[in-house]
Structure 1
Amino acid sequence: MSSSPVPRRTAWLLIAGGFAGLAAGVGFGVTLTTGLVFVGLLGGLAYALGVSGLAERKWIALPAFALGLVAPFLLTFGGHSVLMQRIGHVEHCTITQAEEHPFAKYPSVDYVLACPSGEVELSRDWDDRLAIMEADVLVGSPLRPVFADNARWNLVPVTSVPLAMTLLVPVARALRKAP
């Protein structure tokens, strides 16, 4: 059974729709909730299908799908961290409520903190729970607040994935033209 080539228009629509879905998922993921990274994942997969169809070569599918799967997570979590480092400011907050979940599948603690800019709700893994009733929080509207002591991401790995995704498209286009 032979597979027919993907029409060029369909491949370009998948690539464009993939980038749009990725941007929407990441944008909503850093502002509303990380659960919306799923939208970015669908966009990354659409991008990968489009690049694979545009190239009409099987070997390009692996890097396209690897980038499509990694990009939503890296851009959501790493991008959020980098943006908070750039536009966020540290506020010293007091814990008003802590709800512990030690026997859950993933033990955690949910905190409600009173900050100068308003009330903030944050969660932390059980092993990283706070020992005192105060914490520093990075706040920067419209982004979701985070604890100030969380791991910091670097701008280079965060920007390298979308750059690699963008550069893979002309490679796929050139491969389609090659005999």
Structure 2
Amino acid sequence: MRAAWLMIAGGLVVLALGIGVSITLTYGLVFVGFLGGLAYALGVSGLSQRKWIALPAFVLGLMAPFVLTFGVHSVLMQRTGHAERCTVTAKEEHPFAKYPSVDYVLACPSGEVELDRDWNDRLKTAEADVLVGPPLQPDWADSTRWNLLLVTSVSGTMILLVPVARLLRKQP
């Protein structure tokens, strides 16, 4: 049982670290959060010793790094970031890639920013609004906004699943 608690706690700590690193440095580090999510799921499954709780625990463990990384970043940028009008200085188009996109380099008042967009959403003009708010990564000002309720409900569900797993363990 101690190993289950260590996996749950360690998983949540690694998940939090992965989210923090992903929203400040690069989204490519979401895999660190994945490791935490999987450790959390294994810990909850081991704590309850019930097979049916493994599915929701693993769904939460796999979904949480994506939802929390991109959702927390979007919510924080909405709350703390400020919009700057930026000019496109360079762009690299990838129309024939598996996922067509355009990579942009933008000159903003706060410095140079590199962002990418899906091919269908590419910029029509040489200017765009960008949300900046160091130390967070910049983001497009017109991008889809995440809902604070969704972001907090994933975290709340993960926290509430732990006592449920513990209660299930006590049943014969």
Q: TM-score range by the shorter chain?
A: over 0.9
1:88-167 equivalences under 5 Å are 88-167=81-160
Q: Does 1:53 align with 2:46?
A: yes
Q: In the TM superposition, what whole-angstrom CA distance separates every residue of 1:70-93 from its partner, at most 9, and x where no partner exists? A: 110000111110010000000000
Runs of 4+ more than 6 Å apart: none
**Structure 1 unpaired stretches of 5+:** 1-7
Other structure's SS at 2:135 match: coil
Q: Report the Cα offset of residue 54 of structure 1.
A: 0.3
Q: Residue 103 of structure 1: CA displacement?
A: 1.3
Residues 17-47 of structure 1, C-alpha deviation per residue, up to 9 Å, x if partnerless?
1101110111111111111111101110110
The TM-score, its normalising length taken from structure 1, stands at 0.94
Q: 1:28 aligns with which of 21, 25, 28?
A: 21
SS of alignment partner, residue 144 of structure 1:
strand
Q: Which of these residues, 35, 38, 41, is aligned with residue 42 of structure 1? A: 35
Number of equivalences: 172
